[in-house]
Structure 1
Amino acid sequence: MAPRLSVIVPIYDVERYLPACLDSLAAQTFRDFEVLMVDDGSPDNSAAIAEEYAARDPRFKLIRKENGGLGAARNTGMTHLAPESEFLTFVDSDDLIPPD
């Protein structure tokens, strides 16, 4: 079943905050979504953290690209949306989303 909601999370130098952000997304009561984690050439271990989430939860997908900034990372994420996705949102990698 295709996700109804696509969530794009740009990632750059956020290893300190990223696990809490991704945990908050994984804990959502609404389950019909995908998380597109866009590694914008991060110099820290953020991509490795995102890779772990992608390995254990099929809703999480890691996309890698050269550093181009926040807008470019968001735009890259938009090119990877599930074709049937109805809604799109952006979550910054230091955000915490309430479960409901």
Structure 2
Amino acid sequence: MLFKVEMTIAIPDSLPAERVTEIKAQEKAYAQQLQRSGKWRHVWRVAGQFKNVSIFDVESHDELHELLTGLPLYPYMTLAIEPLCRHPSSIRDDDS
């Protein structure tokens, strides 16, 4: 199952800078692990914002929920999630 996930991050100013640096490092490692596994297929930064647009390829809604809530930045995120399906005009074999 493919999902488009928009993640908007708003870290409170009250969080110590050292903690923010630590969380961002954990987030990067976790995100790269998910990309290597094929679960997080694409990630794009939205220019000028602390936001990304990503494509996840998971077995179920529950798996998506588990992966997203496992993100170290999850407590500071607003998510917009949309299920995707293959377009009949697509020429790509790996987009289902």
TM-score by length of structure 1 reads 0.31
More helix, by proportion:
2
More strand, by proportion:
2
The structure with the largest alpha-carbon Rg is: 2
TM-score by length of structure 2 reads 0.32
